[in-house]
Amino acid sequence: ADEPKSLPDYAAWKERNALIVHSANTMETQRGAIGNGVITSSDRLFVRNNLPAPPASVTDNPDAWEVRMEGVKNPRTLTVGDLKQMGVTTVASVLQCSGNGRAFFPHGASGTQWSVGAAGCIMWTGVPLKDVVEALGGPVDGTRYITSTGGETLPDGLDPKTIIVERSVPTRAMETALLAWEMNDEPLTHTHGGPLRMVVPGYYGVNNVKYVKNVAFTENQTDAKIQASGYRVRDVGVKGAPDQPSMWEMNVKSWVTSPLESGQSGRNMIYGVAFGGTVPLEKVDVSVDGGKTWKQARFLGPDLGPYAWRPFVLAADLAAGEHRIVSRATDVQGNTQPEGRIENERGYGHNGWSDHGVTVAIS
C-alpha cells in the first residue's frame, strides 16, 4: 500500500486526519470530517492550487500588499491598508472546486479525483468590491467582465498565458463580490490566498482568485488558458474552447455526511449539507431507499444567507439491512438536483443525487 502522504509545508497547520491528501497542491476534507457546523473550520477546509503557493512571507505585512485596480474611471494601486478604510462586510459563502464530485465520472475525467470534500462554508471579511469601484469612479463604459489576476511568481521559460491564474466573471458579480483579508475571523493565510483574495459568492472556487494583485473591468474575458479553454463544460472527448459554458455560478447540491457506513437498527439521525449556489435554498429531501420515497429534512442552525450552506437532519427509523441513503436539494426557483450525471469531459459541476448517496449497513 502507498504511504499516506504528509501535508505540504504551506498547509502543515491543517488537521491531517480530517483530510485526504491527493497531492501537494490538492487536499480534500474527508466526508466524515465535514460535520454538522454551518461554518467549516479553517484547518479542515480543502486546498487546491493550480500553481505552487507563494512563500509564507507574503503575509508578513498584509496591509502593505498591493492590488492594481483597472478598467475604472480612476485606475489606482491600493494597499490592503487602503482597502480597510473603504468599507467592510462579512459574507458566508460556500467555496467549492468546479471538479468536486469528479471521482464519480465513469469515463475517468482527468484531474484531481475529488469526491465530496472539495467544498466548505466560509465566513469572508473584506471590502465590498462595489465600494472600491464606486470610489474609483465606476467601471469604464462597455466593460462586461471583472478579471482578477493571482499573485504567484510564474516559473521562467513558459508562456505566462498558459499558467497564470487569471479569471473573468460577468460584471453582474460586482453586486456581491468582495476583496477579502479575513477568513473565519482570522487574517487570511497564504494557504487560502492571503493577504487578499477575490471572493465571488456562489461562484465556483476557481473564480475566487487568491493573492489577488490585479482587478480589471474588461470588455472581454481574459485569454489566459485557465479561462479560455480551462474550466469549460463540454462533451466527453471535446477540447475546451471559449464558446462553451464557463464554471461561474454553482448549481444546487447536497450530500449526506453521516452515517456513512454502518448503524444500529431503530432511530437514526441522517445529517448532510446543502446549498443553492447563488440562489437561496428551498428544501432538502432525503430518501433511505435509494430514491423510491422521500421525506423533507429539517435545516439545522442559523441561515447565514443565500451563499452559505445549510446543514440538515432527518430522523429515520431504519430496519436491519442495507440502505441507500440519498439527499436532493431544491432552490427557491425550483431548480433541483438531477438523479444522474451530466457527462462532461473534465467532470465539472456534478450535482446528481444518485452518485452522491451512501450505502449504509444497519445491524
User: In the complex, which residues of this chain contact ligand MSS (CB under 6 A)?
Assistant: 45-51, 95, 97-98, 150, 152, 165, 192-193, 204-206, 208-211
Q: Do residues 199 and 208 make contact, with C-beta atoms less than 8 angstroms apart?
A: yes
Question: Min. distance of Cβ 350 from ligand MSS in angstroms?
Answer: 12
Question: Min. distance of Cβ 304 from ligand MSS in angstroms?
Answer: 19
Question: Min. distance of Cβ 12 from ligand MSS in angstroms?
Answer: 15
Of 185, 193, 15, which Cα lies nearest the Cα of 117? 15
Question: Min. distance of Cβ 97 from ligand MSS in angstroms?
Answer: 3
Q: Do residues 197 and 211 make contact, with C-beta atoms less than 8 angstroms apart?
A: yes
Residue 227 grid coordinates = 479561462
The CA distance from 97 to 94, in Å, is 10
Residue nearer to ligand MSS on the CB measure, 47 or 270: 47
Residue nearer to ligand MSS on the CB measure, 323 or 341: 341
Question: Min. distance of Cβ 261 from ligand MSS in angstroms?
Answer: 26
Q: Which neighbouring-strand residues pair with 271?
A: 258, 313
Residue nearer to ligand MSS on the CB measure, 46 or 217: 46
Residue nearer to ligand MSS on the CB measure, 45 or 169: 45
Q: Which neighbouring-strand residues pair with 121?
A: 94
Residue nearer to ligand MSS on the CB measure, 208 or 287: 208
Amino acid at site 45: L
The CA distance from 279 to 250, in Å, is 9
Which residues, 6+ apart, have CB-to-CB distance to 85 below 8 Å? none
Residue 9 has phi, psi (to 5 degrees) of: -50, -45
Residue nearer to ligand MSS on the CB measure, 8 or 259: 8
Question: Min. distance of Cβ 299 from ligand MSS in angstroms?
Answer: 25
Of 98, 342, 122, which Cα lies nearest the Cα of 234? 342
